[in-house]
């Protein structure tokens, strides 16, 4: 059954459900605040640089917290309007002055969610700036901390500073110290899930969090959960039974729903024993490792906290393997769904933890497949395009365009107008050779998103297919004038100019634009320039362009083949043959080889 927050996530099309499995955990974290007049701050609106895109999760929070006030901040300008209870402000998540203004105008916040740049240094710095301003009893959530293991975001396998998982892991280890640092002292507890770390701020007017008040135990309500004790068996379970009702006794770990291990001289910590107990327990069971002397047993440099840090890191074992396939991951990692840390306890929730990374999404993964089934069910009668667009996009990327065809037809009947809808529906029409439909969709999109580079390129592509080259050129020139550095527009305009026989302008544009493309693409751009110069009968310049390509990529097959073409024109058959044989040895399936070999042989 899909929880209410995940249902809203699906309907509004936020990737917090589907590509990620966040909202089931957010529901567990935040459901008790649903009817309260909370103030929520979310860093990151989404939609990248487009002023009219993003905000799906802001709408989800607005609808979930009916009495709440939602604030979104983003480095990019946004013109979205989600009603009087939602406000979007432009600024950086690490700009102290801007954040001070946001808090003064809209805070203090009860919930802060960092879904911003995902760069490790930004996650750590935002926590330093914002956690002290969080309302007492509030919840601070760092999302997408899988970037701790992603080099492009400053991550590493060794958690080199600044690193979000490393930073929060050390903070977890230090909760029992006498630190006067409010970033540690004011943390009442922490929860660790796949890609998420949540911190509960201490409320000095209330007692510290009791491990047994965790909503993790609500799953056992009225189910007569079976308990087993290791060490003391006279633990105060008042808070637990208030959630679950009566309990029963298990004779061994494999029969237990909840195992409670109290550390003592008679029951000292042993990582091997803990792992054996967790391995024996069934899915959706809970092991509580607690202490009557946490200052001693949970010493930051002690054995328990060293192990806790290890397990805290491995919650993201799926993400680690995406970027470090040779990393050592133990057999227990896929079985530990979450870890909770309170002042006197560590709690391990045993349940499958194998949801795929968004960097290597697998729709066939059992957990991801179940999520897609839930999306299909929730969206069966949906009339809001947001969720349908997100679902169609996942189907197209991870199943097929045809799998999304029915959803796209529904969206068209609903009068969908989002950028994503036009892109998907138009691309499907092109794939099915329905050029008139593709033309209509992209033309409508360009009326809404004037001179948009992506739609300009796609409509021009349709016009090229219909041999309407003059119109295609006009569309691309307009887009190029508005976005002179849009690489897709440049590439398509060069193609149209070439087809129309305007080689001098095509050459000029190709030459000027080489450095606009990323380094890996530049050999190909020089090859194109060489081809155009050859067609324009400028052999010296053509050879020079190909030499530049080979300087960047000495074995580039396209550059070698173009050089062979140029050798043939110069009647140097021997050099052409040598170049073709070199390509054939390394790239025997290259589609250009057969025709070129035939010409050499003839």
pLDDT per residue over 375-408, tens digit each?
999 999 999 899 999 999 999 999 998 999 999 9
What whole-number distance in Å separates Cα of residue 473 and Cα of residue 496?
Answer: 6
Cα separation values, 77 from 44, 45, 53, 72, 137, Å: 11, 10, 10, 11, 32
Model pLDDT for residues 315-343, shown as the tens digit of each residue: 999 999 999 999 999 999 999 999 999 99
Cα separation values, 141 from 117, 166, 198, 202, Å: 14, 15, 4, 15
Model pLDDT for residues 561-602, shown as the tens digit of each residue: 999 999 999 999 999 999 989 999 999 888 888 888 888 887
Question: What is residue 329's three-state secondary structure?
Answer: coil
pLDDT at res. 50:
87
Contacts of 299 (CB under 8 A, 6+ apart): 176, 305
Give me the mean pLDDT over the 276-292 stretch.
Answer: 97
Choose, from 20, 32, 100, 118, the residue flagged as catalytic. Answer: 118
What whole-number distance in Å separates Cα of residue 365 and Cα of residue 473?
Answer: 45
pLDDT at res. 100:
98
Query: Do residues 27 and 3 lie in contact, with contact meaning Cβ atoms separated by under 8 Å?
Result: yes
- Residue 285 banded pLDDT, cuts 50, 70, 90: very high
pLDDT at res. 592:
86
Helices 435-448 and 419-431 meet at what angle, rounded to 10?
160
Model pLDDT for residues 119-128, shown as the tens digit of each residue: 999 999 999 9
| DSSP H/E element including 291 | strand 285-291
- Residue 552 banded pLDDT, cuts 50, 70, 90: very high
Question: What is residue 96's three-state secondary structure?
Answer: helix
What whole-number distance in Å separates Cα of residue 230 and Cα of residue 165?
Answer: 30
Query: Do residues 348 and 277 lie in contact, with contact meaning Cβ atoms separated by under 8 Å?
Result: no
| Phi, psi values for residue 422, rounded to 5° | -60, -40
- Residue 553 banded pLDDT, cuts 50, 70, 90: very high
- Identify the residue whose tokens are 């667009």: 389
Q: What is the 3-state secondary structure (H, E, C) of 368-395?
A: HHHHHHHHHHHHHHCCCHHHHHHHHHHH
Q: pTM of the entire structure?
A: 0.90
What whole-number distance in Å separates Cα of residue 577 and Cα of residue 596?
Answer: 9
Among residues 320, 318, 370, the alpha carbon closest in space to that of 18 is found at 370
Token digits of residue 84 = 């009087």
Half-sphere exposure of 434 (CA within 13 A, CB side): 11
What is the DSSP secondary structure assignment for residue 515, as one 8-state letter? Answer: G
Q: What is the 3-state secondary structure (H, E, C) of 197-225?
A: EEEEECCCCCCCCCHHHCHHHHHHCCCCC
What whole-number distance in Å separates Cα of residue 434 and Cα of residue 188?
Answer: 60
- Residue 348 banded pLDDT, cuts 50, 70, 90: very high
Instruction: Tell me: pLDDT of 437 over 80.
Output: yes
Helices 271-280 and 303-314 meet at what angle, rounded to 10?
40
pLDDT at res. 483:
95
Cross-strand bridge partners of residue 355 = none
Could you count the other beta carbons within 10 Å of the beta carbon of residue 318? 23
- Identify the residue whose tokens are 């979007």: 88
Q: Which domains can be identified in the chain, with CATH numbers?
A: 435-500 (1.25.40), 514-602 (1.25.40.10)
- Residue 426 banded pLDDT, cuts 50, 70, 90: very high
Model pLDDT for residues 20-46, shown as the tens digit of each residue: 999 999 999 999 999 999 999 999 999
pLDDT at res. 534:
96
Query: Do residues 57 and 71 lie in contact, with contact meaning Cβ atoms separated by under 8 Å?
Result: no
Query: Do residues 118 and 153 lie in contact, with contact meaning Cβ atoms separated by under 8 Å?
Result: yes
| DSSP H/E element including 113 | strand 111-114
Token digits of residue 421 = 């809808």
Model pLDDT for residues 516-547, shown as the tens digit of each residue: 999 999 999 999 999 999 999 999 999 999 99
Radius of gyration for the alpha carbons in the chain, expressed in angstroms and rounded: 29
128 is catalytic: no
Give me the mean pLDDT over the 103-131 stretch.
Answer: 98
| Phi, psi values for residue 555, rounded to 5° | -110, 20
Model pLDDT for residues 45-84, shown as the tens digit of each residue: 999 988 989 999 999 999 999 999 999 999 999 999 999 9
Model pLDDT for residues 140-189, shown as the tens digit of each residue: 999 999 999 999 999 999 999 999 999 999 999 999 888 889 999 999 99
Model pLDDT for residues 241-279, shown as the tens digit of each residue: 999 999 999 999 999 999 999 999 999 999 999 999 999
Report the mean per-residue pLDDT for the chain: 96
Model pLDDT for residues 453-464, shown as the tens digit of each residue: 999 999 999 999
pLDDT at res. 511:
97
The residue ranges of DSSP E strands in 328-369, in sequence order, are 336-342, 345-350
pLDDT at res. 178:
84
- Residue 207 banded pLDDT, cuts 50, 70, 90: confident
pLDDT at res. 595:
85
């Amino acid at each position: 059954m899909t929880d209410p927050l995940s249902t809203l996530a699906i309907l509004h099309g936020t990737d917090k459900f589907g590509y990620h499995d966040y909202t089931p955990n957010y529901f567990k974290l935040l459901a008790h605040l649903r009817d309260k007049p909370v103030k929520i701050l979310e860093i990151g609106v989404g939609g990248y640089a487009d002023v009219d895109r993003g905000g799906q999760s802001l709408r989800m929070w607005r609808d979930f917290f009916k009495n709440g006030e939602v604030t979104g901040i983003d480095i990019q300008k946004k013109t979205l309007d989600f009603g009087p209870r939602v406000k979007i402000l432009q600024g950086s998540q690490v700009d102290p002055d801007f954040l001070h203004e946001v808090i003064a105008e809209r805070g203090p916040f009860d919930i802060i969610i960092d879904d911003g740049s995902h760069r490790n240094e930004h996650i750590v710095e935002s926590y330093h700036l914002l956690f002290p301003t969080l309302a007492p009893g509030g919840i601070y959530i760092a999302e997408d901390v899988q970037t701790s293991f992603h080099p492009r975001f400053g991550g590493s396998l060794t958690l080199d500073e600044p690193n979000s998982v490393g930073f929060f892991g050390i903070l977890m280890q230090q909760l029992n110290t006498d630190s006067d640092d409010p970033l540690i002292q004011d943390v009442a507890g922490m929860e660790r899930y796949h890609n998420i770390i949540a911190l509960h701020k201490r409320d000095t007017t209330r007692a510290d969090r009791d491990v047994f008040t965790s909503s993790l135990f609500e799953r056992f309500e009225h189910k007569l959960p079976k308990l087993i004790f290791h060490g003391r068996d006279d633990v105060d379970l008042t808070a637990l039974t208030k959630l679950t009702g009566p309990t029963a006794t298990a004779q061994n770990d494999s029969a237990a729903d909840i195992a409670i291990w109290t550390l003592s001289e008679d029951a000292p910590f042993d990582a091997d024993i803990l792992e054996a107990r967790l391995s024996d327990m069934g899915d959706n069971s809970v092991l509580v490792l607690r202490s009557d002397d946490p200052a001693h047993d949970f010493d930051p440099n002690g054995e328990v906290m060293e192990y806790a840090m290890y397990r805290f890191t491995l919650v993201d074992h799926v993400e680690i393997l995406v970027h470090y396939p040779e990393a050592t991951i133990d057999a227990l990692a896929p079985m530990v769904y979450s870890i909770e840390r309170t002042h006197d306890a560590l709690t391990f929730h045993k349940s499958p933890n194998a949801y795929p990374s968004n960097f290597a999404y697998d729709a066939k993964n059992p957990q991801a497949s179940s999520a897609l089934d839930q999306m299909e069910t929730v969206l069966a009668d949906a009339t809001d395009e947001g969720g349908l667009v997100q679902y169609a996009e996942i189907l197209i990327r991870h199943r097929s365009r045809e799998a999304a065809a029915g959803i796209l037809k529904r969206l068209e009947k609903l009068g969908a107008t989002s950028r994503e809808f036009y892109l998907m529906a138009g691309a499907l029409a092109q794939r099915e050779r329905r050029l008139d439909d593709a033309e209509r969709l992209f033309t409508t999109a360009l009326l809404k998103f004037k001179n948009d580079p992506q739609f300009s390129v796609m409509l021009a592509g349709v016009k090229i297919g219909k041999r309407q080259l003059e119109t295609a050129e006009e569309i691309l020139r307009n887009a190029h004038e508005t976005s002179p550095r849009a690489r897709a527009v440049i590439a398509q305009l060069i193609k149209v100019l070439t087809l129309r026989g305007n080689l001098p302008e095509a050459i000029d544009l190709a030459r000027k634009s080489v450095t606009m493309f990323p380094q890996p693409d530049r050999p190909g751009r020089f090859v194109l320039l060489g081809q155009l110069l050859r067609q324009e009968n400028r052999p010296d310049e053509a050879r020079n362009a190909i030499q530049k390509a080979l300087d960047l990529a000495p074995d580039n097959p396209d550059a070698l083949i173009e050089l062979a073409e140029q050798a043939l024109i110069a009647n140097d058959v021997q050099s052409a043959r040598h170049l073709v044989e070199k390509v054939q040895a390394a790239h025997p399936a290259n589609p250009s080889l057969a025709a070129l070999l035939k010409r050499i042989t003839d």
